[in-house]
Amino acid sequence: MKTITNSKKDLFTPIKIGDMELKNRMIMAPLTRNRAGPGNVPQDMNVIYYEQRAGAGLIITEGSQISVQGSGYPSTPGIYSKEQIAGWKRVTDAVHARGGRIFIQLWHTGRISHSSFQKDGALPVAPSAIKANGEAVTYEGMQPFETPRALETSEIPGIVADYVTAAKNAKEAGFDGVEIHAANGYLIDQFLRDGSNHRKDEYGGDIANRMRFLKEVVEKVIEVWGPNHVGVRLSPENTFNDIQDSQPQKTFDAVARMLSDYPLAYLHVLEGNMITGDRVVDYKQLRENFSGLYMSNHGYDQASGNKAIGEGTADMVAFGKLFLANPDLPERFAQEAALNVPDVDTFYGGNEKGYTDYPAL
Catalytic residues: 186
User: For residues 226 and 228, what is the distance between their CA atoms, to the nearest angstrom?
Assistant: 7
Crossing angle for the helix pair 212-225 and 248-259, to the nearest 10 degrees: 30
> Angle 212-225/156-172 helices, nearest 10 degrees?
30
Burial of 18 (0-12, 13-18, 19+ CB in 10 A): middle
**Exposed, middle or buried by CB within 10 Å (0-12, 13-18, 19+), for 329?**
buried
The upper half-sphere exposure of residue 7, i.e. CA atoms within 13 Å in the direction of its Cβ, equals: 15
For the chain, the straight-line distance linking the first and the last C-alpha, in angstroms and rounded, comes to 42
What distance in Å separates the CA atoms of residue 278 and residue 237, rounded to the nearest whole number?
8
Nearest-5° angle of CA 358, CA 360, CA 361? Answer: 140
DSSP 112-155: GS-GGGSGGGPPPEESSS-PPSSEEEETTEEEEPPPPEEPPGGG
Q: Degrees (nearest 5) of the Cα angle 271, 199, 166?
A: 60
**Contacts with 200 (C-beta within 8 Å, 6 or more apart), sequence order:** none
Q: Taking Cα atoms as reference points, which of 169, 152, 176 lies closest to residue 92?
A: 176
The CA distance from 228 to 232, in Å, is 11
